[in-house]
Amino acid sequence: MVSTPEVNASIQTLYCSHSRWLLGFLYRRLGCRCEAADLVQDTFVRIIQRPRSFDGANGERSYLATIARGLCIDTWRRQRLERAWLEQLALQPEAVQPSPEQHAIIVETLHEIDAMLLRLPSKVRQAFLLAQLDGMAYRDIAAHIGVSERMIKKYLAQALLHCAILEAELDGVLVE
């Protein structure tokens, strides 16, 4: 992004005009002022990364609300994923509990995997999860999803390619 004085002034004006409103908007959804404030900042970071012009205050608020809703959904998804992992972790003996550093790495990895799965087409994701988590055979997955066994092979190849890319990104081999 090229930063110009006009763009900077426009974003500053947008922030001054709407940040307080956006904080209230997010607080009503999240119930936590600190979390809402974080998402206000994240919303404006997105605006800074992709500035655009608007047709009046209603257009500005509509755009800000759209970005903020997406960030809320991401936050809730991350929280739900972390809660599920913590519930499973609580069932494990204390001897296998991860250190705080390991915990942070595991949670971040889970978020990366979740994001990768969400980037997959629905049937590809469903086939991958049925194969990996439920251990279903290709023909059973094909019958369950309603496609040919050949398509399941293609779906799983696509999912495994995404897994390999994710692993390379996490290892720092690939740079976006």
At CA 26, angle to CA 39 and CA 20, rounded to 5? 85
Going from the C-alpha of 101 to that of each of 41, 88, 97, 98, 106, the distances in angstroms are 26, 18, 11, 8, 9
Residues 125-149 have a mean pLDDT of 94
Cβ of 143: how many Cβ atoms within 10 Å? Answer: 13
What are the pLDDT digits (tens) for 78-108? 899 899 988 988 888 888 888 889 888 888 8
- Evaluate if residue 122 carries a pLDDT over 70: yes
**Residue 54 to residue 60: CA distance in whole angstroms:** 6
- Does residue 137 sit in helix, strand or coil? coil
CATH code for the structural domain at 98-170: 1.10.10.10
The pLDDT, as a whole number, for residue 53 is 72
DSSP state of 101: H
**Residue 21 to residue 127: CA distance in whole angstroms:** 43
Q: How much of the chain exceeds pLDDT 70, in percent? A: 90
Least reliable range by pLDDT among 111-115, 150-154, 158-162, 166-170:
166-170
Q: Does domain 5-87 have CATH number 3.30.519?
A: no
pTM, entire model? 0.65
**Residue 154 to residue 145: CA distance in whole angstroms:** 14
Q: Where do the domains of the chain lie?
A: 5-87, 98-170
Residues 142-164 have a mean pLDDT of 93
- Evaluate if residue 24 carries a pLDDT over 80: yes
- Evaluate if residue 2 carries a pLDDT over 60: no
- Evaluate if residue 52 carries a pLDDT over 80: no
The pLDDT, as a whole number, for residue 36 is 95
Q: How confident is the model at residue 5 (pLDDT cuts 50, 70, 90)?
A: low
155: its two tokens? 């779906």
